[in-house]
Amino acid sequence: MGLSRYPSKVTMPNVEKPYPSILGFLHGRFPNVPQDSWELRISAGKVLDEDGQPITTATGYTPGKRIFYFREVEREPVIPFGETILFQNEELLVACKPHYLPVTPGGPYVDECLLNRLRKRTGNHQLAPLHRIDRETAGIVLFSANCKTRSQYSELFLRGSIEKSYEALAEYTQTSGTGPWLVENRIVPGEPWFRMTTAPGQVNARSLIRLVSASERTGRFLLEPVTGKTHQLRIHMSGLGFKILNDRYYPELQPEQADNFTMPLQLIARMVRFLDPVTGKEMEFRSARELSA
pTM reported for the whole predicted model: 0.84
CA distance 273 to 77: 33
Residue 78 confidence (pLDDT): 93
- For the chain, domains (ranges, CATH) are 2-72 (3.10.290.10), 84-160 (3.30.2350.10), 164-267 (3.30.2350.10)
Measuring CA to CA, which residue among 109, 148, 142, 110 is closest to residue 128?
142
CA distance 124 to 188: 35
Q: Do residues 171 and 266 make contact, with C-beta atoms less than 8 angstroms apart?
A: no
Q: What percent of the chain has pLDDT over 90?
A: 86
Q: Hey, how many other C-beta atoms are within 10 angstroms of the C-beta on 131?
A: 18
* pLDDT tier at 2, thresholds 50, 70, 90: low
Question: Above 70 in pLDDT, residue 91?
Answer: yes
Residue 174 confidence (pLDDT): 86
- Residue 5: C-alpha distances to residues 74, 120, 146 (Å): 15, 11, 19
